[in-house]
C-alpha cells in the first residue's frame, strides 16, 4: 500500500459499536502516522457523539450536513444500513469520497443508487469489505487462481457463534431497520470473499430459520464455473468451528475465521499439517525471519490506508463500491430463493 | 384439574436462554397465549428475532425496568440465569415487579437441586430443604424459594415453583458438554453410569410450565417435574457416544477429583461475599461474566511439561456437581405434579434424546 502524501480529512458518520471498536483505534493509528486528519464525527445521540469526538479529537456533529460544512475529503459511513443511501448520496453530492461499511445498503436498489451517484459525481466509493485485505484470504485467492495445489475440489465454510456484538439498541433485530439476519450481517463478508475468489455462482440453494423475522442460522450451497462445490453455514445462535476448509487436489487448507495471517496446510500424502504464519517473503538465500503479515485489525487499517491512497492517487480503491452492491445482490437472491430450515 | 384458558400475554424473563427459548417456542401463539420475551441486552435478541415478537429489554435485577417490561402480562415465567447472589436477588425483584405490574402469577423456575444433586431415597416435595449444600447454587435456589414463599404471603401475586432436574434438549449443556468431552477424549463416568439421572426433556418442562401458569390449584406450591421413565446416566451417555460413533469405553472410569471439587464452591462463595455483593451493581455485567469465565477456565496446577514429556489427552475429571449427580440413587417423583397439575410428560426420554442429537448434528456440524 502507498501512503498518501498529505493527511486525508475525514468525517466519520455513526458513533455506534463499529466506530468505537474498529474505526476509533484505526483512525487514531493512521493519524499517528500522519495519514488522516479526523475533522468530525456525526451521530444524533449526544453521548455517543461526544464520547467518540473526545476520543478522536474531532468536532461532534449532530447531522451530516454540519460535518460536510467542514469540507472533509472522505466520509466514512458506519451507520445502520437503512441510512447508507441518503448519507452516501449527500456526501458524494458534496464532492467527498465515501467509504461505506458493509452492507453497502439495506437493499440492492439503494446500493445501485449509491454506485450510480458515485459514478455521476466522479468521486471514489469504497465498500467496507475489509476481509479482502487479510493475507490469508489473498493467499487463498492465489491458490485458487493459480491452482498451486491443483484445482479446487470443494470448500466448506462454517462461521459464527452465539451473538455477542455489543448492539446498543434492538434496531439490529428489527426487520424494518435491518432487513436481514446472520446472512446480511456476517454472511455478506463471506459472500463477497466467495465472489472474489471464484466469481459469480453458477447456481445455489439457500435455507434459513427465519419465521417472520430475521434468520439466526443459514445454509448456502453453491457451484461456480470451476465446478467446485461450496457449502457455507452461518450462525449467530450456536458456536461453530469458525473455519473455511478448502480441499484442493493436492492439499487441504484450513483458514480460521479472522486469523488474518495464518493458514493450516495439509499436503496430500504428508501425514501432518503445517500450521503457518504468513510473513513477508524470504529471499532465496540465508536470511533472518521476516515480518509477520497483517493481523485482523491491521487488515482493517489496511483498507483505510488503501482508500486514502486511492484518493491521493486518483485511482479506484481495492474494493470499489460496485463490489459491495454485487455482494448485497447475492444476499437478496438468497432471500428470494429461501427454503425453511428445521427449527429442531 | 383441567387448565383454564387464558387468552393473555405471558412474560418470559430470560427468554434467550436454553429453557426460556424453548418455553417461548412451545407457548407462544398457542391456546390464546402471546409470549413477551424479556431479555437483559439487545444482543440476546439474535435468536428470538427469528420471529416478530413484542420483546422488552430489562435487567431482571432492575425493579423499575422489569416492572415496565411486565405491564400488561398476566403470567410471568422466570427462567433467567444468574450466579448464586443474583438468583436470590432476582427472586425478590421478580416478585416485587410482578406485584407492581399486576401480574397474576409468577412461575419461578427453581431446581431439583434444592434437594441436592444426590437426594436421599424417599425425597419428594414434602421433604425439608436446607441451605447447607456443598454447592452454592443449590443454596441460592433454596433461599430464593424461601424468599418467594415469604413474599407471596401478602397475596399480591400467586407463586408456583417448579423443580426440574437435568434438563435435556436442544442447547442443553448436559448434551453439548458431554459431546464435547467425548470428542476431546476426556469423558468420564462413575460406576459406569449406573447412577440415576433425574432427567426431564425441555418440552416436558414446557408442558409443566404451561400447567403451572394456568392450573388454579397450583398457586403456592412447589413441584418436582421429570421424565416418565427411570433414567440412568448410562441411558443418557451411551446414545450420545453411539451417535458420535464411539463405544462405551469412550467413558473412562472417573473418580471425584478434589481439586475441582474445591474450586467450584470457592467460586460460588466469592459471589456471595460482602465485597462481591457491594461491588455487584457497580461492576458491568460483561466484566463479571468475563471474570467468572476466566476463573472457571483457569487451568488447575499441572506438572510442568517440557520436551521430555510425552503428550497425552487430558484425564477424565468430574466436577463436584457431576460427581454428586452421578452418585444419585433416587428417582425424584412427580406424583404431586401429576395429581395437582395433571402433569403427564408428553415426550418419552429416548425420543427426546434422539431429537436433541439431531439438533446437535445441525448445530455443530457433521460428525
**Which domains does chain A show, CATH number per domain?**
8-130+299-320 (3.40.50.720), 132-293+328-340 (3.30.360.10)
The number of angstroms, rounded, from the C-alpha of A168 to the middle of its chain's C-alpha atoms is 21
Q: Give the contacts of A269 (CB within 8 A, at least 6 positions apart).
A: none
Residue among A168, A181, A241 minimizing CB distance to B49: A181
* B69 in Cβ contact with B11 (< 8 Å): yes
* Domain boundaries, position B222: 9-171+198-228+329-346
Q: Which residues of chain B make contact with A214, given a CB cutoff of 8 A?
A: 49-50
- What pLDDT sits at residue B267? 56
A24: helix, coil or strand?
helix
pLDDT per position as a tens digit, A97-156: 999 999 999 999 999 999 999 999 999 999 999 999 999 999 999 999 999 999 999 999
Q: Which residues of chain A make contact with B365, given a CB cutoff of 8 A?
A: 158, 233, 240-241
Mean pLDDT for chain A? Answer: 96
Which residues of A lie inside 8 Å of B (Cβ-Cβ)? 158, 162-170, 172-175, 181-182, 209-217, 233, 235-241, 341-344
- For residue B133, tell me if it sits in a domain: yes
Cα distance from B57 to chain A (closest Cα, Å)? 9
The CA distance from A233 to A107, in Å, is 22
- For residue B179, tell me if it sits in a domain: no
The number of angstroms, rounded, from the C-alpha of B236 to the middle of its chain's C-alpha atoms is 17
CB B43 to CB A165 under 8 A? Answer: yes
Q: Which residues of chain B make contact with A172, given a CB cutoff of 8 A?
A: 42, 45
CB B364 to CB A240 under 8 A? Answer: yes
- For residue B101, tell me if it sits in a domain: yes
CB B57 to CB A170 under 8 A? Answer: yes
Dihedral (CA of B269, B168, B11, B346) sign:
negative
The number of angstroms, rounded, from the C-alpha of A174 to the middle of its chain's C-alpha atoms is 22
B193: helix, coil or strand?
helix
The CA distance from B139 to B306, in Å, is 43
Question: Torsion-angle region of residue A177: left (phi > 0), alpha (psi -120 to 50) or beta?
Answer: alpha
Residues above pLDDT 70, as percent of chain A = 99
pLDDT per position as a tens digit, B195-215: 999 999 999 999 999 999 999
CB B170 to CB A344 under 8 A? Answer: yes
Cα distance from B39 to chain A (closest Cα, Å)? 11
Closest-CA residue of A relative to B16 is A237
**How is the beta sheet containing A274-277 ordered, strand by strand?**
A274-277, A262-267, A251-256, A243-248, A152-160, A229-235, A217-223, A203-208, A339-340
* A223 in Cβ contact with A149 (< 8 Å): no
- What pLDDT sits at residue B336? 98
CB B53 to CB A213 under 8 A? Answer: yes
DSSP state of A83: G
The CA distance from A290 to A280, in Å, is 6
Which one of A164, A173, A217, A234 would you mutate to disrupt binding with B, by most B Cβ within 10 Å of its Cβ?
Answer: A173
CB B50 to CB A213 under 8 A? Answer: yes
C-alpha atoms less than 13 angstroms from C-alpha of A17 in its C-beta half-sphere: 11
Q: Which residues of chain A make contact with B359, given a CB cutoff of 8 A?
A: 344
Cα distance from A164 to chain B (closest Cα, Å)? 6
Exposure class string for A302-320: b at 16+ Cβ within 10 A, else e: bbbbbbbbbbeeeeebbbb
Cα distance from A211 to chain B (closest Cα, Å)? 5
- For residue B273, tell me if it sits in a domain: no
Q: What string of pLDDT tens digits covers the 367 residues of chain B?
A: 444 444 699 999 999 999 999 999 999 999 999 999 999 999 999 999 999 999 999 999 999 999 999 999 999 999 999 999 999 999 999 999 999 999 999 999 999 999 999 999 999 999 999 999 999 999 999 999 999 999 999 999 999 999 999 999 999 999 999 999 999 999 999 999 999 999 999 999 999 999 999 999 999 999 999 999 999 999 999 999 999 999 999 999 987 754 344 445 555 555 555 555 555 555 555 555 555 555 555 555 555 667 888 877 667 788 999 999 999 999 999 999 999 999 999 999 999 999 999 999 988 875 5
Which one of B50, B51, B177 would you mutate to disrupt binding with A, by most A Cβ within 10 Å of its Cβ?
Answer: B50
- For residue B258, tell me if it sits in a domain: no
Closest-CA residue of B relative to A173 is B49
Cα distance from B355 to chain A (closest Cα, Å)? 7
**Across the strands, what pairs with B159?**
B106
Sequence-ordered alpha helix ranges (H) in A122-258: 135-146, 182, 188-198
- For residue B275, tell me if it sits in a domain: no
CB A235 to CB B363 under 8 A? Answer: yes
Residue among B42, B362, B364 minimizing CB distance to A170: B42
CB B46 to CB A212 under 8 A? Answer: no
Residue among B43, B50, B364 minimizing CB distance to A164: B43
Dihedral (CA of A164, A169, A171, A173) sign:
positive
How distant, in Å, are the alpha carbons of B27, B100, B292 from that of B69? 18, 11, 28
Cα distance from A273 to chain B (closest Cα, Å)? 17
The CA distance from A202 to B21, in Å, is 38
pLDDT per position as a tens digit, B283-341: 555 555 555 555 555 555 555 667 888 877 667 788 999 999 999 999 999 999 999 99
Exposure class string for B179-211: b at 16+ Cβ within 10 A, else e: bebbeeebbbbbeebebbbbbbbbbbbbbbbbb
- For residue B290, tell me if it sits in a domain: no
pLDDT per position as a tens digit, A272-286: 999 999 999 999 999
pLDDT per position as a tens digit, A298-321: 999 999 999 999 999 999 999 999
Dihedral (CA of B130, B134, B139, B142) sign:
negative
CB B362 to CB A214 under 8 A? Answer: no
Count of domains for chain B? 1
pLDDT of A226 over the 90 cut: no
- For residue B27, tell me if it sits in a domain: yes
How distant, in Å, are the alpha carbons of A167, B82, B207, B209, B337 from that of B342? 43, 30, 10, 12, 6
Residue among A164, A240, A344 minimizing CB distance to B355: A344
| Of A77, A97, A95, nearest in space to A87 by CA | A77
A247: helix, coil or strand?
strand
Residue among A164, A213, A233 minimizing CB distance to B49: A213
A325: helix, coil or strand?
helix
Closest-CA residue of A relative to B361 is A344
| Of B17, B16, B51, nearest in space to B34 by CA | B51
The CA distance from A199 to A189, in Å, is 14
- Looking at beta carbons, which pairs linking A292-298 to residues 24 or more positions away fall under 8 Å? A292/A261, A293/A135, A293/A260, A293/A261, A294/A133, A294/A134, A294/A135, A294/A260, A294/A261, A295/A260, A295/A261, A296/A134, A296/A258, A296/A259, A296/A260, A297/A22, A297/A25, A297/A26, A298/A260
The pairing of strands A229-235 and A152-160 is parallel
Amino acid at each position: 500500500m502507498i501512503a498518501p502524501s498529505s493527511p486525508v480529512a475525514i468525517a466519520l458518520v455513526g458513533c455506534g459499536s463499529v466506530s468505537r471498536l474498529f474505526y476509533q483505534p484505526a483512525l487514531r493509528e493512521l493519524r499517528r502516522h500522519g495519514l488522516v486528519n479526523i475533522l468530525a464525527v456525526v451521530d444524533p445521540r449526544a453521548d455517543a457523539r461526544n464520547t467518540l469526538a473526545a476520543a478522536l479529537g474531532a468536532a461532534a456533529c449532530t447531522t451530516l450536513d454540519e460535518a460536510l460544512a467542514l469540507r472533509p475529503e472522505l466520509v466514512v459511513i458506519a451507520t445502520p444500513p437503512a441510512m447508507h443511501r441518503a448519507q452516501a448520496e449527500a456526501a458524494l453530492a458534496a464532492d467527498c469520497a465515501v467509504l461505506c461499511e458493509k452492507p453497502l445498503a439495506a437493499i440492492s436498489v439503494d446500493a445501485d443508487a449509491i454506485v450510480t451517484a458515485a459514478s455521476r459525481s466522479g468521486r471514489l466509493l469504497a465498500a467496507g469489505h475489509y476481509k479482502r485485505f487479510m493475507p490469508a484470504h489473498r493467499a487463498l485467492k492465489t491458490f485458487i487462481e493459480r491452482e498451486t495445489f491443483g484445482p479446487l475440489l470443494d470448500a466448506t465454510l462454517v462461521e459464527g457463534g452465539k451473538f455477542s456484538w455489543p448492539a446498543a439498541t434492538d434496531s439490529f433485530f428489527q426487520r424494518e431497520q435491518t432487513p436481514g439476519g446472520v446472512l446480511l450481517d456476517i454472511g455478506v463478508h463471506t459472500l463477497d470473499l466467495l465472489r472474489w475468489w471464484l466469481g459469480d455462482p453458477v447456481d445455489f440453494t439457500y435455507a434459513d430459520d427465519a419465521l417472520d423475522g430475521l434468520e439466526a442460522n443459514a445454509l448456502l450451497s453453491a457451484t461456480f464455473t470451476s465446478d467446485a462445490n461450496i457449502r457455507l453455514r452461518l450462525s449467530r445462535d450456536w458456536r461453530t468451528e469458525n473455519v473455511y476448509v478448502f480441499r484442493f487436489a493436492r492439499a487441504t487448507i484450513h483458514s480460521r475465521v479472522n486469523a488474518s495471517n495464518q493458514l493450516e496446510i495439509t499436503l496430500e500424502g504428508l501425514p501432518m499439517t503445517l500450521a503457518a504464519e504468513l510473513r513477508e517473503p524470504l529471499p532465496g538465500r540465508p536470511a533472518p525471519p521476516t515480518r509477520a503479515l497483517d493481523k485482523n485489525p491491521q487488515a482493517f487499517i489496511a483498507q483505510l490506508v488503501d482508500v486514502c491512497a486511492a484518493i491521493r492517487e486518483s485511482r479506484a480503491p481495492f474494493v470499489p463500491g460496485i463490489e459491495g452492491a454485487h455482494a448485497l445482490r447475492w444476499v437478496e437472491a438468497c432471500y428470494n430463493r429461501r427454503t425453511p430450515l428445521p427449527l429442531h | 384439574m383441567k387448565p383454564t384458558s387464558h387468552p393473555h400475554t405471558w412474560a418470559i424473563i430470560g427468554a434467550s436462554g436454553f429453557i426460556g427459548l424453548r418455553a417461548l417456542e412451545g407457548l407462544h401463539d398457542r391456546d390464546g397465549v402471546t409470549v413477551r420475551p424479556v431479555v437483559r441486552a439487545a444482543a440476546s435478541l439474535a435468536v428470538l428475532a427469528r420471529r416478530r415478537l413484542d420483546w422488552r429489554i430489562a435487567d431482571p435485577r432492575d425493579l423499575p425496568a422489569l416492572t415496565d417490561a411486565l405491564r400488561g402480562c398476566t403470567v410471568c415465567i422466570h427462567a433467567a440465569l444468574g450466579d448464586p447472589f443474583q438468583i436470590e436477588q432476582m427472586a425478590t425483584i421478580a416478585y416485587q415487579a410482578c406485584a407492581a405490574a399486576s401480574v397474576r402469577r409468577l412461575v419461578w423456575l427453581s431446581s431439583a437441586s434444592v434437594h441436592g444433586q444426590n437426594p436421599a431415597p424417599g425425597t419428594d416435595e414434602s421433604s425439608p430443604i436446607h441451605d447447607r449444600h456443598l454447592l452454592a447454587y443449590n443454596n441460592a435456589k433454596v433461599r430464593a424459594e424461601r424468599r418467594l414463599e415469604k413474599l407471596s404471603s401478602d397475596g399480591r401475586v400467586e407463586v408456583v415453583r417448579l423443580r426440574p432436574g437435568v434438563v435435556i434438549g436442544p442447547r442443553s449443556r448436559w448434551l453439548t458438554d458431554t459431546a464435547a468431552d467425548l470428542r476431546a477424549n476426556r469423558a468420564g463416568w462413575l460406576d459406569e453410569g449406573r447412577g440415576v439421572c433425574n432427567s426431564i426433556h425441555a418440552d416436558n418442562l414446557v408442558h409443566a410450565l404451561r400447567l403451572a401458569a394456568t392450573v388454579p390449584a397450583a398457586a403456592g406450591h412447589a413441584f418436582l417435574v421429570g421424565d416418565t421413565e427411570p433414567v440412568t446416566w448410562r441411558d443418557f451417555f451411551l446414545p450420545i457416544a453411539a451417535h458420535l460413533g464411539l463405544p462405551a469405553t469412550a467413558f473412562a472410569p472417573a473418580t471425584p477429583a478434589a481439586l475441582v471439587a474445591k474450586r467450584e464452591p470457592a467460586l460460588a462463595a466469592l459471589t456471595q461475599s460482602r465485597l462481591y455483593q457491594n461491588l455487584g451493581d457497580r461492576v458491568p455485567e460483561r466484566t463479571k461474566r468475563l471474570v467468572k469465565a476466566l476463573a472457571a477456565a483457569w487451568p488447575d496446577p499441572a506438572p510442568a511439561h517440557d520436551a521430555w514429556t510425552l503428550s497425552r489427552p487430558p484425564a477424565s475429571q468430574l466436577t463436584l456437581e457431576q460427581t454428586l449427580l452421578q452418585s444419585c440413587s433416587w428417582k425424584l417423583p412427580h406424583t404431586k405434579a401429576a395429581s395437582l397439575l395433571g402433569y403427564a410428560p408428553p415426550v418419552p426420554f429416548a425420543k427426546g434424546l434422539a431429537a436433541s442429537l439431531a439438533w446437535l448434528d445441525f448445530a455443530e456440524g457433521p460428525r
